[in-house]
Amino acid sequence: MSDIPEHQQRTATLPTYPHYRSLVPPLTEKLHKGQGGRIGVLGGSSDYTGAPYFSGMAALRLGADLCHIICDEDAATAIKSFSPDLIVHPYIKIRAANATQDKKKSHEIWMQTFDDINALLKRVHVLVVGPGLSRDKGMLQSAKHAIEKAKELEMPIVIDADALFLIQNYPELIHGYSKAVLTPNVVEFGRLCDAMNIDAKDQESEELPVQKLAQALGGVTVIEKGKRDMISNGSKVHIVSNEGGLKRSGGQGDILTGMLGTSLAWGQAYEKNAWSHSHPVATEDVAMTACFGACVINRECSRLAYDKHKRAVQSSDVLQEIGPFFSNFYDKPRPTATWAAAIYG
């Protein structure tokens, strides 16, 4: 972490590996379908169909039981063709709404879209917003509605890609909602900081910019992706520094959002005592611990895929590493393991 000033490094802590492991539901006949996580992904515009696939499949590969994709009707067939494991809902009917000259009919189409989204959100544990969303007004309108409804339902929300553009322009949408997780890359992070009047490259103050941004947004969790992932909820900071792959291919950020969705769903099941445990992770630390673990796993799977394929690596290769790595990472009993031993052991 030599590029982070020492006085800022001192603010960082990290959860233990056994704490993250305690959030993972055991594979047991006592749990039923759905308790391993039901994830909703809203994205998939007519131009971007791969992103929601990567997010949804990452959620399933990590261990979620079900994943629902809410997308534009013109994206649905392509997304369905990628995998039968995804449940695809073509609720967003932009073409139909734009085609009619009847304002009443257009309004009815959008009201049906919102009603369909409302009904589906009651069936999932976590909402992921952004993969393949685009900046189409109808897609952004659907994302805004879904975020507002998810807040009413008090569910975790992971916000990425063009959904961050929405937050950049309407920060009040998630301000003060502690169950929101934002995942900006370096460019998106800079834009969010500009919107909140924060110096994204501040090297002088005691607090890292990611912590300041989380505070300015009222205590949401921010994951600043980069050479290392820096996570903050405004009060705590975790820095994820295990090695990732050196090739940047489209879809890797979407894979992280899917893993975050599953990890946060596990955190909810942990809080609801879906299985017997001794509550080693305090309630206020569950989300940060879940985010830390997802970032660690994402970076290691990226590294493993890169080691095999080098410049040819694609995000589909990263997906293939999730199951084998996680088996090694979790399935062996390691009640006192360090992060390094869990990752590389």
One-letter-per-residue 3-state SS of the chain? CCCCCHHHHCCEECCCHHHHHHCCCCCCCCCCCCCCCEEEEECCCCCCCHHHHHHHHHHHHHCCCEEEEEEEHHHHHHHHHHCCCCEEEEEECHHHHHHCCCHHHHHHHHHHHHHHHHHHHCCCCEEEECCCCCCCHHHHHHHHHHHHHHHHCCCCEEECCHHHHHHHHCHHHCCCCCCEEECCCHHHHHHHHHHCCCCCCCCCCCCCHHHHHHHHCCCCEEEECCCCEEEECCCCEEEECCCCCCCCCCCHHHHHHHHHHHHHHHHHHHHCCCCCCCCCCCHHHHHHHHHHHHHHHHHHHHHHHHHHHHHHCCHHHHHHHHHHHHHHHHHCCCCCCCHHHHHHC
Q: CA nearest 91: which of 113, 69, 118, 58? A: 113
Does the residue 26 lie in any domain?
no
Residue 185 among known ligand-binding residues: yes
Residue 254 among known ligand-binding residues: yes
Q: CA nearest 25: which of 263, 266, 261? A: 266
Does the residue 1 lie in any domain?
no
Overall number of domains in the chain? 1
Residue 311 among known ligand-binding residues: no
Does the residue 13 lie in any domain?
no
Does the residue 9 lie in any domain?
no
Q: Which amino acid is at 5?
A: P
Residue 187 among known ligand-binding residues: yes
Residue 244 among known ligand-binding residues: yes
Residue 250 among known ligand-binding residues: yes
The pLDDT, as a whole number, for residue 9 is 77
The pLDDT, as a whole number, for residue 32 is 85
Average pLDDT, the chain: 95
Does the residue 146 lie in any domain?
yes
The pLDDT, as a whole number, for residue 342 is 95
Residue 227 among known ligand-binding residues: yes
Residue 323 among known ligand-binding residues: no
The pLDDT, as a whole number, for residue 333 is 73
Residue 151 among known ligand-binding residues: no
Residue 228 among known ligand-binding residues: yes
Does the residue 141 lie in any domain?
yes
Whether the model pTM is above 0.95: yes
Provide the 10 A C-beta neighbour count for residue 190: 17
Does the residue 17 lie in any domain?
no
Q: Output the domain CATH number for residue 273.
A: 3.40.1190.20
Residue 104 among known ligand-binding residues: no
The pLDDT, as a whole number, for residue 10 is 76
Query: pLDDT tens digits for 128-166?
Result: 999 999 999 999 999 999 999 999 999 999 999 999 999
Residue 246 among known ligand-binding residues: yes
Give me the residues of the chain with pLDDT under 70, please: 1-2
Residue 245 among known ligand-binding residues: yes
Residue 191 among known ligand-binding residues: yes
Its domain, for residue 251, covers 32-344
Sequence-distant (≥ 6) Cβ neighbours of residue 112 within 8 angstroms: 93
The pLDDT, as a whole number, for residue 1 is 54
The pLDDT, as a whole number, for residue 2 is 57
Does the residue 3 lie in any domain?
no
Residue 251 among known ligand-binding residues: yes
Residue 225 among known ligand-binding residues: yes
